[in-house]
Amino acid sequence: MKKDKILVIGACGQIGVELTLALRKMYGDNNVVASDLREEHELLKGSGPYVSLDVMNKEMLHVLVIRHNITQIYLLAAILSATGEKNPLLAWHINMQSLLNVLDIAKEEGIDKVYWPSSIAVFGPNSPKTETPQHTIIEPTTIYGISKFAGERWCEYYNHRYGIDVRSLRYPGLISYKSAPGGGTTDYAIEIFHDALESKSYNCFLKEDTYLPMMYMPDAIRATIELMEAPKENIKIRSSYNLGAMSFSPKEIAAEIGKHVPGFRISYEPDYRQQIADGWPGSIDDEAARKDWGWKHEFDLEKMTVDMLKNLKK
């Protein structure tokens, strides 16, 4: 029987660090190879194998997969929404080519499973704004959303055409305290905690009533692992699953933080990210994920706020 050997690409990012550590706990430290362009993240040091890798270099990736007898690939490297708008062609190039490199090597080497995250950014201004359904109008207006939507189509194509077991989630904005966010439009919901504790004030780059779907990182890690561990026949959607937990506005999260940080004040100075947020859903219908593989979130705004503040104060 083939032993599971996992490669995480983009392991030093906001999701990568926590996902790598969680996978190492499950599969054993030496069976999860972390890789990234960047230097190894502090939290990963000493926890398992680390390889410096540019996922755009297909040959190098291919050699790595063969040399380590990789059986599963988690591709997390990407250019995120806000950064993508600053250099659209680069975002398109990196987001698409990284996925095509991975899918093609998965096909050539008979990789058992591939994970690649999509995003709520696939939806656009013409999609229903509340409880956005799994299947609806998908007309993304950011380059990030366009690349995620195209990526979803490629994932489904590789599954249908070549039988690759590729699985995907449309993450909402992810909130975490362990590793820094990588240039997304929902990053405000992380910065706000740091600034609240440092200076009791936060200047928000979105308007007070901008509702966006969000999720606490422990839920996102668990969702990813539960999706990947689910029996193959339960995975009915091979593009990407809607995934939800909570939805709030800057005004609401500020009020929640204010319950624990007396005197906390928020001000608003919307920038180019407001336009990105305006095109995205306010909340998500994730019925298919709940039905197909039993998704259930644990953290709401209240519970997450308590946990974030507790951990950031440490």
* Interface positions, 43-62, toward ligand NAD (CB under 6 A): 53-56
Q: Does residue 12 belong to the site contacting ligand NAD (CB under 6 A)?
A: yes
Choice from 76, 122, 143, 166 touching ligand NAD (CB under 6 A): 76
**Nearer to ligand NAD (CB atom), residue 182 or residue 257:** 182
| Residue 231 Cβ vs ligand NAD, minimum distance, rounded to whole Å | 24
Q: Report yes or no: 213 and 244 within 8 Å, Cβ to Cβ.
A: yes
Count of Cβ atoms closer than 10 Å to residue 272 Cβ: 11
Q: Is the dihedral of CA 244, 250, 253, 257 positive or negative?
A: positive
Which one of residues 7, 14, 146, 155 is an interface residue with ligand NAD (CB under 6 A)?
Answer: 14
- Taking the C-alpha atoms of residue 288 and residue 58, their distance in angstroms, rounded to an integer, is 34
Considering 144, 171, 202, 216, which one is annotated as catalytic? 144
Minimum CB separation of residue 298 from ligand NAD in Å reads 18
- Secondary structure, 3-state, 250-262: HHHHHHHHHCCCC
How many residues at the interface with ligand NAD, by CB under 6 A?
28
* Nearer of residues 53 and 192 to ligand NAD, judged by Cβ: 53
Residue 65 as a binder of ligand NAD (CB under 6 A): the answer is no
**Rounded to 5 degrees, what are φ and ψ at 3?**
-85, 140
Amino acid identity at 85: E
Residue closest to ligand NAD, measured at CB: 13
Q: Which residue has the tokens 């972390």?
A: 34
Q: Residue 260: phi, psi to the nearest 5?
A: -110, -20
Q: Is 171 in the site for ligand NAD (CB under 6 A)?
A: yes
Element (H, E) at 92: helix 88-109
Among 71, 72, 101, 119, binds ligand NAD (CB under 6 A): 119
Triad 115, 144, 18: Cα angle to 5°: 40
Catalytic center residues: 144
- Contacts to ligand NAD by CB under 6 A: 9-10, 12-16, 36-38, 53-56, 76-78, 80, 94, 117, 119, 171, 173-174, 181-182, 184, 186
